[in-house]
Chains A and B, each alone.
Chain A
Amino acid sequence: MSSITELMPFVVLIPLIAGPVCALLPGRGLPWLLATLAMTTAFILSAMVLAAVFDGATLSYAFGNWAPPVGIEYRVDAANAFVALLITGVSAILLPWGKPLVDDEVPERQGSFYALVLIALAGLLGITLTGDVFNVFVFLEISSLATYGLIAHGRDRRALIAAFRYLIMGTVGATFLLIGIAVLYILTGSLNMVDIAERLPTAEGARALQVGLGFIVVGLAIKLALFPLHHWLPNAYTYAPSLISALIAATATKVALYVMLRFIFDVFGAAYSFAALPLAAALMALAIGSMFAGSWLAIMQSNLKRMLAYSSVAQVGYMVLGVSLTTLAGLSAAFLHLFNHGLMKAALFASAGLVAYRCGGLGMNDLRGIGRQMPWTLTAFALAGVSLVGLPPTAGFISKWYLLSAAVAADQLWLVGLILITSLMALIYIARVVEIAWMQPRPEGAPAVQEAHWTLLAPVWVLVAANFWFGIDTRLTVGGATRAAQALAGGVWP
């Protein structure tokens, strides 16, 4: 118990320290090897941390031995350990997968490329584990700045504009968050989350506190790509290198959602947040907007990665919808979908990355008839798509099921219809790709495409298998999500 507390900050520190070492390493093999080893170690550590906090314990680590609230504290309960496990797990699987694709897309200076990958991941993990609101802002900037750089590495020149656009939107979001944190600091004189929560009751009448909450929620909604603040996301995901698309699609928006929930529940307190602002109604409206706009725009796209990016906007909607039900069951469903969606999007972007690697383009025309030439890749895509649509026995079904039962339990029967309609829309855009890839003939004169090597396919299939595994054995996912919700809103919400 105590030794795991000492090890816990190394989930963040290992990638953070490995980053600058990576930047010094020459060639193509060593930086990749170090990045993979670092993330695998972080994965093992975060699994140990989750095991230690699964029963409701809280780990607290004081940096520099400066006792909180003066010093910076890392504070881990089931909620952030669960998110950290997703980030490290997905990156430990995707990094071995991404090596040949990175060799292809980023041929030069891979040391600094992998250094940026590690620093971006360390930033996301830092946001997740820290118990200090200013530390949240610093790590948000660390991960965002690294991500802008990574997106700009895309081979298409439009990657630069996508990265710049994300930079502008991301900076606006981070500034909003910082304004909110400043308000909290002015009102309470503290930056430690637990300490702020203890001191806030004296400031609850203040209009400034309402404004601060508003700034923080909107700032993080930009990072979360909640409709209508999602405009940076499709281009960023589309033009980034394949490895980066898969990594950030599976992790970045999830961390933004987690930290928004941490602010709403732990810092401001659920009772205050949902009374001071019409949060439940606003989040529900925006969530439904996300679900429909994201799914509709996904159907309209003619580029595979772009389609998946818009689908991410829709999926974020489901998570926020779970939160907006203001019940413990809804919040659990949100955490459950956060984890499961990370798995499915990683699998989908990874198989799309293989198609781009072998076939060159990702337009729907490039995909015609590709299913027969790359059967393993496209089967993986279709199976991960089944999970995205939410058919049994997949992880996607489990999260939809819990979301539906939470909606029913909250007496919001009309939401059931909306969830089913948007799931059908997901079926349309996934089925369209499957139809084009398998049913349509390869265009005349198109060069033959080879199936990807099994070393590339194996990690994708591990992700697909995880989607089915967590559709059947839900002890980790449902158990983790329930405990995460319990850690945040236990005792406040029914």
Chain B
Amino acid sequence: MRDNAILVVVARFLIPLVMLFGLYVQFHGEYSPGGGFQAGVLFASAWILFVFIYGLETALRVIPQRLIYALASLGVLLYALIGVLGVVLGGHFLDFYPLLDAPKAAQQTGIILVEFGVGVTVAAVVMLIFLLFARRRADTVAAGLDPDAADDVRVDAE
């Protein structure tokens, strides 16, 4: 779809905006509606729009598949790390008060960090779900088969 000028211009305009909005939802999550989950999905939707316009290979040059896999785990680990940090500093798991001296700032910091972990994992997993379906279709087309009849063909081939 790279040849369609209208799509390319609109996408070029929209993709950064959607990503920015995702980041806004991410970092305002602790005192306004939003948070890591919603932000992750928004961010991934911008990425999916990019794939629609510029193709999967271009998108994977920016964020390789291995990195997406790693990010899916690293987000959870950031969450766990902050949780364990509360224990190490003398509190309970996911206890944010020991993180900083000022209680309000401590809660805010803890929530932002934990939600950032959630956002990274959700974005990476949504991207992976899309990626795996897209890959499967691309592989089927590359094998010279009709992708919409792919399931029947594959079962017969076994």
What residues make up the interface of A, taking CB atoms closer than 8 Å to B? Answer: 6, 9, 13, 16-17, 19-21, 23-24, 61-65, 115, 157
Q: How far is the CB of B156 from chain A (nearest CB, A)?
A: 12
Q: Is the CB of A64 within 8 A of B73?
A: no
Q: Does B76 contact A (CB under 8 A)?
A: yes
Q: How far is the CB of A410 from chain B (nearest CB, A)?
A: 43
5 pairs across A/B with beta carbons < 8 Å? A6-B92, A9-B93, A13-B80, A64-B86, A64-B95
Q: Is the CB of B77 within 8 A of A20?
A: yes
Q: How far is the CA of A19 from the CA of B73 in the complex (A)?
A: 9
Closest to B70 in A: A24
Q: How far is the CB of A76 from chain B (nearest CB, A)?
A: 15
Q: Is the CB of B73 within 8 A of A24?
A: yes
Q: Is the CB of B73 within 8 A of A23?
A: yes
Chain B residues within 8 Å of A24, by CB:
70, 73-74
* Known A64-B86, A157-B158; contact A20-B93, beta-carbon cutoff 8 A: no
Chain A residues within 8 Å of B83, by CB:
13
What are the 9 closest A-B residue pairs judged by CB atoms, nearest first? A20-B73, A64-B94, A20-B76, A65-B95, A17-B80, A23-B73, A65-B92, A24-B73, A64-B95
Q: Is the CB of A17 within 8 A of B95?
A: no
Q: Is the CB of A65 within 8 A of B77?
A: no
Identify which of B77, B93, B94, B96 gathers the most chain A CB atoms within 10 Å of its CB.
Answer: B93
Closest to B86 in A: A64
Q: Is the CB of A16 within 8 A of B80?
A: yes
Q: Is the CB of A17 within 8 A of B84?
A: yes
From B80, B95, B158, contact of A20 by CB (8 A) = B80
Chain B residues within 8 Å of A64, by CB:
86, 92-96
What residues make up the interface of B, taking CB atoms closer than 8 Å to A? Answer: 69-70, 72-74, 76-77, 80, 83-84, 86-87, 91-97, 155, 158
Known: A17-B80, A65-B92. 12 other contacts (CB 8 A): A6-B87, A6-B92, A16-B80, A20-B74, A20-B76, A20-B77, A21-B77, A24-B73, A63-B92, A64-B94, A65-B86, A65-B91
Q: How far is the CA of A17 from the CA of B70 in the complex (A)?
A: 15
Chain A residues within 8 Å of B77, by CB:
17, 20-21
Closest to B97 in A: A65
Q: How far is the CB of A121 from chain B (nearest CB, A)?
A: 16
Q: How far is the CA of A65 from the CA of B76 in the complex (A)?
A: 21
Identify which of A17, A64, A65 gathers the most chain B CB atoms within 10 Å of its CB.
Answer: A64
Chain B residues within 8 Å of A16, by CB:
80
Q: How far is the CB of B86 from chain A (nearest CB, A)?
A: 7
Q: How far is the CB of B124 from chain A (nearest CB, A)?
A: 11
Chain B residues within 8 Å of A157, by CB:
155, 158
Q: How far is the CA of A21 from the CA of B76 in the complex (A)?
A: 9
Chain A residues within 8 Å of B97, by CB:
65
* Known A16-B80, A65-B97; contact A23-B92, beta-carbon cutoff 8 A: no
From A17, A21, A61, A115, contact of B92 by CB (8 A) = A61
Chain B residues within 8 Å of A62, by CB:
92
Q: How far is the CB of A475 from chain B (nearest CB, A)?
A: 33
Q: Is the CB of B73 within 8 A of A63?
A: no
Q: Is the CB of B73 within 8 A of A13?
A: no
Q: How far is the CA of A64 from the CA of B97 in the complex (A)?
A: 9
Chain B residues within 8 Å of A19, by CB:
76
Q: How far is the CB of A75 from chain B (nearest CB, A)?
A: 14
Chain A residues within 8 Å of B74, by CB:
20, 24
Q: How far is the CB of B4 from chain A (nearest CB, A)?
A: 38
Q: Is the CB of A23 within 8 A of B69?
A: yes
Q: How far is the CB of B154 from chain A (nearest CB, A)?
A: 10
Q: How far is the CA of A115 from the CA of B93 in the complex (A)?
A: 21
Q: How far is the CA of A115 from the CA of B95 in the complex (A)?
A: 26
Q: How far is the CA of A466 from the CA of B155 in the complex (A)?
A: 44
Q: How far is the CB of B103 from chain A (nearest CB, A)?
A: 11
Chain A residues within 8 Å of B76, by CB:
19-20
Chain A residues within 8 Å of B69, by CB:
23
Q: How far is the CB of B98 from chain A (nearest CB, A)?
A: 9
Q: How far is the CB of A195 from chain B (nearest CB, A)?
A: 19
Q: How far is the CA of A9 from the CA of B80 in the complex (A)?
A: 13
Q: Is the CB of A63 within 8 A of B158?
A: no
Q: How far is the CA of A24 from the CA of B76 in the complex (A)?
A: 12
Q: How far is the CA of A63 from the CA of B83 in the complex (A)?
A: 9
Chain A residues within 8 Å of B92, by CB:
6, 61-65
Q: How far is the CB of A252 from chain B (nearest CB, A)?
A: 23
Q: Is the CB of B80 within 8 A of A63?
A: no
Chain A residues within 8 Å of B70, by CB:
24
Chain A residues within 8 Å of B94, by CB:
63-64
Q: Is the CB of B158 within 8 A of A13?
A: no
